[in-house]
Amino acid sequence: MKKGIFLIICAMLFFGAVLPAQDALAGKDNNLRSQFKEIREKSSWPILGTDFDDIISPFGPRTSWDGGDFYFHRGLDISADEGASIIAVKKGVVYDIDEYYGGGGRTVILRHDFPGEAKFFGRDLKYYYTLYMHMSEFNQEMVDAFNRGEEVKIKKGQEIGKVGSTGNATGPHLHFELKVGSPWALSTQLYYPSSENYTGFDPAVNAMWFYEPLEKSTSLELIRKPKENKAAMLRICTSDDQPIANRVKFKIRNPKKKITIKKSNLNLNKRKGFDASSTEALGEADKSAPYVKVLDSALTSENFCFDVVVPKKFMDEYYTDKYKRIIDVYDIWGRKKRLKF
């Protein structure tokens, strides 16, 4: 893999959170998976001359760029040479061009139509947006037309700019992001609740939804067995060239009584299992239930890995062999891997 020895760092991301009222709707009338099964047909990869193997930082929680606590990375970082061509993954129109989009540097945002009736958090969605950040330069013809106030239509595969390291980055790469329903992070939406861009949820989802999944590559390993007054820990690894693990369901069963005693659900696309008390707090895990523990070196030459900690307070007295503990890990396409311990 072309990981190199350097770490691409990026601190340009907005923070957002799911509002409590929307969280109640998180499981209702959501069909984005089926929408993107249609969208993913013949989607372009955003950098010419690169592929999945060049992903250097996936979607989801990761170690902070400054060595501090982890935060939620809302896109894919893809390594490429300075000046490599960045292309549109699907046809759309230019929504915005920004010389300095926060820490993202030179950024292009494209707006795309959903092929059908899309729903997320119970809301009807009309558009999805792709964001291309850290560019060294833009397609000048595109910029000139946009500045004239024209609606600039972009074809799939059309060059929109060049790879660079503008904004907060230590080397050339593309931060590629997918947002649904709104181009704005929730933190921005909350300032403008009457805007057409207001959805009430954090709109960034895993951009790997644009691509056909590889064969199942998720592995689960019990790192620390549950013991009295000890947290249990499990390691989840997926192929490093298609990191698409998304949802973790955990439950404790009483086999004799055939009942579920406790259960918990982590969901990266929906931010479920993270402290959503404010837009700033999303980068912190909710440690009252099973939570994600990010590894310092989460990405290897073969796998992307993170741990799930089952706190001792959540485990309570259910650590003995009398009870069955089950963890189901789903990828963004709904495929499941199970571990019983």
DSSP per-residue string spanning 67-78: SSS-EEE-EEEE
Please write the tens of the pLDDT for every residue from 24-40.
Answer: 444 555 899 999 999 99
Whole-number pLDDT of residue 125? 95
Whole-number pLDDT of residue 68? 56
Whole-number pLDDT of residue 297? 65
In angstroms, the CA 133 to CA 151 distance is: 21
Domain 219-340 annotated CATH 2.60.40: yes
**H or E stretch including 189?**
helix 186-189
Please provide the CATH number assigned to the domain covering 20-210.
2.70.70.10
Report the DSSP pairing between strands 85-87 and 106-120. Answer: unpaired
Average model confidence (pLDDT) across the chain: 85
For the chain, report the end-to-end CA distance as a whole number of angstroms: 33
Whole-number pLDDT of residue 246? 92
Whole-number pLDDT of residue 21? 42
Please write the tens of the pLDDT for every residue from 262-321.
Answer: 999 999 998 888 765 555 555 567 788 888 887 766 666 678 888 899 999 898 899 998
Under 8 Å between Cβ of 231 and 310:
yes
In angstroms, the CA 153 to CA 146 distance is: 10
Whole-number pLDDT of residue 29? 54
Whole-number pLDDT of residue 275? 63
Q: What does the domain layout of the chain look like in residue ranges?
A: 20-210, 219-340
Under 8 Å between Cβ of 107 and 142:
no
Whole-number pLDDT of residue 10? 33
Q: Which DSSP category does 276 fall into?
A: -
In angstroms, the CA 235 to CA 295 distance is: 10
Residue 257 CA to its chain's centroid (Å): 38
In angstroms, the CA 17 to CA 71 distance is: 12
Residue ranges in the chain whose pLDDT is less than 50: 1-26
Whole-number pLDDT of residue 239? 85
- Beta-strand (E) ranges in the chain? 55-57, 60-62, 71-73, 75-79, 85-87, 92-98, 106-120, 123-138, 153-154, 159-163, 173-180, 204-205, 219-224, 232-239, 245-254, 259-267, 291-293, 303-310, 324-331, 336-340
Sheet of 303-310: strand order equals 219-224, 232-239, 303-310, 291-293
In angstroms, the CA 88 to CA 47 distance is: 9
pTM of this structure: 0.87
